[in-house]
Amino acid sequence: QDWMLAGWMQLALATPVQFWLGARFYRAAWKALLARSGNMDLLVALGTSAAYGLSAYLLIFRTGHAGMTPLYFESSAVVITLVLLGKWLEARAKHQTVAALRALESLRATEAVVRRDGKDL
């Protein structure tokens, strides 16, 4: 346990990630629930909330084995961080693709010559 952060410190570090960075997942999950559909945002919100909520419960009520309380705050924070990183990388790749397509479009010919029966029209 010496190498682990104290439970209250884990809670303090994970809370902004869960509710500030993860707020977009909660908003999108709520919209998905209202539309009676499921999506990735709903799964992220449910999974990270379960890990965060269980960890908070275990921390508050100290229900671990032999004084060792298993906490999963880092799991919820890592999932949110990695999903946001993936979304950022996807947006960056899309932006670069659009820029490359526009550059290719600027290389196209603006006029053409039609040749019929050996004569340019």
Query: Using one digit for the tens of pLDDT, what is the confidence trace for 97-116?
Result: 999 999 999 999 888 889 99
Residue 87 lies in a domain: yes
- Enter the tokens of residue 22: 């993860």
Indicate the number of domains in the chain: 1
Assigned domain for 92 exists: yes
pLDDT tens digit sequence for 7-39: 899 999 999 999 999 999 999 999 999 999 999
Q: What angle do CA 31, 76, 36 make, to 5 degrees?
A: 20
- Establish if 64 belongs to a structural domain: yes
Range of the domain at 43: 7-107
112 within a domain of the structure (yes/no): no
Give CA–CA dist 15/3, Å, rounded. 21
The answer as to whether 52 is a domain residue is yes
In a domain, residue 121? The reply is: no
Please name the residues in contact with 116: beta carbons below 8 A apart, sequence gap of 6 or more.
Answer: none
Asked whether residue 97 is assigned to any structural domain, the reply reads yes
52 or 107, which is more confident?
Answer: 52
CA 58-46-44 angle, to 5 degrees, is: 115
pTM above 0.85, yes or no: no
Comparing CA positions, the residue from 6, 8, 17, 29 lying closest to residue 76 is 17
pLDDT tens, position by position, 59-105:
988 876 666 778 999 999 999 999 999 999 999 999 999 999 999 99
